[in-house]
Chain A
Amino acid sequence: MGVLRRNLTAYGFLCAALFCFTVFAWYPMVREFILSFQKTDLINSPEWVGLANFRGAVQDPAFWEAWLNTVEFTFLALLCGYAVPFVVALVLNELRHARAYLRFVVYLPVMLPPIVAVLLFRWFYDPGPGLFNQILDVFGVPPLAWLDSSSTALISLVLVATWMNMGSATLIYLAALQNIPPELYEAAELDGAGVFRRIRHVTIPQTRLILLLMLMLQIVATMQVFIEPYMLTGGGPENATVTVAYLMYQFAFSQMNYGQAGALGMMLMLVLLVFAAFQLRSTREDAA
């Protein structure tokens, strides 16, 4: 087969994917850049406004709050959603019984549509007959306001996010743990290492790459949290749960200011790219 013909056939097979990627993945990235310098409401023709969108976004009363909340949410979500699955996976890996049941159950919430988890927890958080306050009541703890108080609202969102997402991280860690050669543990034991030192000097170094990878994936995933504030709090109370992604949605669909939303999106993209670059460097150093 000639080179030309081979290339033609190959691009024939590729053309549908190239179309989808060009129009719905690559172009939107460029479009975001263009959008952020334009004023557009999708009805009138767009006009160039320079940096006005960026200024408008920064001057929005909720701007700094949104970043702070996003960072706080990401931090809390990492604390729960990154450390907990690893510990859970460590324990699950030691168990010799009920493994199939435990794995099934921990992944179950991941399968549910997010709206199910979110609306279910909205009911649990209900200050009156909600399950959580009723449980607290059994133990004699005074009821919490959960989503209605600016001090507990964010952590309530983190709780939902952790519940519905931790299954996949747990199973990925579990698979990584099963790939550790048993000889390493035997050697460590012969050297007199106790359980915790075995974890520190064998388990963690052996799973380091996957731990780093998951760290980045989770930061990127939690930084764009949207459905929880959208459904549970609407950003309230007193902007305590406005995240960057939610603010972006607000700019676009409440204020019909797509340019300003694009500007905020650009900022979020830059922050995430810095994370990604940082991550890429650390994994590369690790591999070298």
Chain B
Amino acid sequence: MTSREAAVADRPATRGPRTPAARQRRRRRSPRPMNVQFRTIISPHQLNSRWGRRIYWLVLAAVIVTFSLAFVFPLYWMVSGAMKTPEEVAQMPPTLVPAQPTLDPFFEAWDLFDIGTLLANTVYYSLGAWLFCMCVDVAAAYALSKLRPAFGNVILGAMLATLMVPPMVILIPLYVTIVDLGLLNNPWGLWFPAAANGFNIFLLKRFFDSIPRELIEAAQIDGAGPLRVLWSVVLPVSRPILGVVSIFTIVTAFKDFVLPLLVMTDSEKMTISVGLSQTAGAVTQNQVMGGLVIASIPMIIVFFIFQRHIMAGLTAGSIKG
């Protein structure tokens, strides 16, 4: 069994029994050997020794507490801050729980920041970027992988070379180009640069490369042209990678700050990140927090739903590449 299979097999067991009754039963049976199919630095033997066990539970508790404090508590502070009155937010020492929780700051933030417009803009730009990106990058990766034109490798190399150049470095000339083309305050000013994504093409091409040739040849014998092969053979079997690329494209577009800051300057056309950054100085702290909470919700929902894809995608490019 490879370590990864072992990790998968190990997963249900690590969750542990869920019901209180089962938990009690387990406690009575202790010390039951810990599930150690998945060998790591510490050996199963060490882990199950008397001290190994004690240290393990201690470390586990410490890690859970530290992580919760470091990553969950700030978010709790943000949400609870948004439910306090302006006086309570400024109070020293601060209250852990809002004395009189109120949802008003959320509504105030919604109006003051004009979050309805900002959010609609951001969603529109993100979905547009996704749609355009997918059309352009899938077609390009398909051509490079399966149609293999002359100079294909040169083109792929040049596309991958753009990954070496950090976005911040070409920000100014990119902005100047966008101005020259008259794309200021035009969503295409964000969508075109988003589609020029070498990493997407790399991921897609590598996946398309792994599709067996027989599958495509069978379709060709049935008389399918290149577009038909792409649509009916390549895309259906590429669902996993399409999911990964889609999510990353949408999340990146939603989170993007610098380019929208420069390109979408009309207050009617700003993204939520830029809008919040522009108005944050002019409103009270609890309203800022209200705005931040609202801005975070879409991404947190996306994370809840697509957690698996996101985690898979994180390692897709880096491990084997």
The chain A residues found within 8 Å of chain B, CB to CB, are 6-7, 9-14, 16-18, 20-21, 23-29, 31-32, 35, 40, 42, 90-109, 111-116, 119-120, 123-124, 128-129, 131, 134, 137, 163, 168, 171-172, 175-182, 185-186, 189, 195, 198-199, 202-203, 210, 213-214, 220-221, 223-224, 226-227, 231, 245, 248-249, 252-253, 258, 261-262, 265, 268-269, 272-273, 276
Task: Tell whether, in the assembled complex, residue A20 and residue B296 are in contact, meaning their CB atoms are under 8 Å apart.
Answer: no
Task: Tell whether, in the assembled complex, residue B257 and residue A114 are in contact, meaning their CB atoms are under 8 Å apart.
Answer: yes
Task: Tell whether, in the assembled complex, residue B169 and residue A32 are in contact, meaning their CB atoms are under 8 Å apart.
Answer: yes
Q: Does B164 contact A (CB under 8 A)?
A: yes
Interface residues of B in 68-119 (CB under 8 A from A): 68, 70-72, 74-75, 77-78, 81, 89-94
Task: Tell whether, in the assembled complex, residue A115 and residue B41 are in contact, meaning their CB atoms are under 8 Å apart.
Answer: no
Contact A265 B169, CB 8 Å, known A31-B177, A186-B39? yes
Q: Give which listed residue, A17, A28, A210, A253, contacts B195 with CB less than 8 A.
A: A17
Cα A210 to Cα B320 in complex, Å, equals 10
Task: Tally chain B residues at the interface, Cβ within 8 Å.
Answer: 109
Q: Shortest CB–CB separation between residue B178 and chain A, in angstroms?
A: 8
Q: Does B211 contact A (CB under 8 A)?
A: no
Cross-chain pairs A/B with CB under 8 angstroms, 28 sampled:
A10-B143, A10-B144, A10-B149, A13-B140, A13-B230, A17-B136, A21-B196, A25-B162, A32-B169, A40-B176, A91-B59, A95-B56, A102-B63, A111-B251, A112-B299, A113-B255, A115-B292, A116-B276, A123-B285, A129-B92, A131-B77, A172-B318, A182-B39, A186-B39, A213-B318, A220-B166, A223-B166, A224-B169
Chain A residues contacting B70 (CB-CB under 8 Å) are: 163
Contact A97 B60, CB 8 Å, known A10-B143, A21-B158, A113-B255? yes
Chain B residues contacting A6 (CB-CB under 8 Å) are: 147-149
Q: Does B273 contact A (CB under 8 A)?
A: yes
Cα A202 to Cα B43 in complex, Å, equals 14
Residue of A nearest to B133 (CB): A20
Q: Does B7 contact A (CB under 8 A)?
A: yes
Q: Does B212 contact A (CB under 8 A)?
A: no
Task: Tell whether, in the assembled complex, residue B94 and residue A131 are in contact, meaning their CB atoms are under 8 Å apart.
Answer: yes
Chain A residues contacting B181 (CB-CB under 8 Å) are: 23
Residue of A nearest to B321 (CB): A213
Cα A85 to Cα B60 in complex, Å, equals 17
Chain A residues contacting B148 (CB-CB under 8 Å) are: 6, 10
Chain B residues contacting A94 (CB-CB under 8 Å) are: 40-42, 56, 59
Q: Give which listed residue, A11, A29, A35, A111, contacts B299 with CB less than 8 A.
A: A111
Chain A residues contacting B143 (CB-CB under 8 Å) are: 9-14
Q: Does B30 contact A (CB under 8 A)?
A: no
Contact A175 B315, CB 8 Å, known A112-B299, A116-B292, A116-B296? yes
Chain B residues contacting A27 (CB-CB under 8 Å) are: 173, 177
Chain B residues contacting A7 (CB-CB under 8 Å) are: 149-150
Interface string of B130-142 (1 = CB under 8 A from A): 0000011101101
Chain B residues contacting A23 (CB-CB under 8 Å) are: 177, 181, 192
Residue of B nearest to A180 (CB): B3
Q: Shortest CB–CB separation between residue A185 and chain B, in angstroms?
A: 6
Chain B residues contacting A226 (CB-CB under 8 Å) are: 168, 258
Task: Tell whether, in the assembled complex, residue A14 and residue B155 are in contact, meaning their CB atoms are under 8 Å apart.
Answer: yes
Q: Does B21 contact A (CB under 8 A)?
A: no
Task: Tell whether, in the assembled complex, residue A113 and residue B166 are in contact, meaning their CB atoms are under 8 Å apart.
Answer: no
Q: Which of B6, B10, B42, B140 has the most CB of A within 10 A?
A: B140
Interface string of B185-201 (1 = CB under 8 A from A): 00000001101101001
Q: Does B24 contact A (CB under 8 A)?
A: no
Interface residues of B in 293-316 (CB under 8 A from A): 295-296, 299-300, 302-303, 307, 310-311, 314-315
Chain B residues contacting A265 (CB-CB under 8 Å) are: 169-173
Q: Give which listed residue, A29, A42, A220, A223, contacts B170 with CB less than 8 A.
A: A29
Residue of B nearest to A99 (CB): B14
Residue of B nearest to A224 (CB): B168
Q: Does B240 contact A (CB under 8 A)?
A: no
Chain A residues contacting B75 (CB-CB under 8 Å) are: 108
Task: Tell whether, in the assembled complex, residue A35 and residue B63 are in contact, meaning their CB atoms are under 8 Å apart.
Answer: no
Q: Shortest CB–CB separation between residue A19 and chain B, in angstroms?
A: 8
Task: Tell whether, in the assembled complex, residue B280 and residue A119 are in contact, meaning their CB atoms are under 8 Å apart.
Answer: yes
Chain A residues contacting B182 (CB-CB under 8 Å) are: none
Q: Does B226 contact A (CB under 8 A)?
A: yes
Task: Tell whether, in the assembled complex, residue A96 and residue B295 are in contact, meaning their CB atoms are under 8 Å apart.
Answer: no
Known A17-B195, A210-B319; 8 more pairs at CB < 8 Å: A16-B136, A96-B10, A116-B78, A171-B314, A182-B3, A202-B41, A210-B318, A227-B258
Chain B residues contacting A137 (CB-CB under 8 Å) are: 93
Chain A residues contacting B39 (CB-CB under 8 Å) are: 182, 185-186
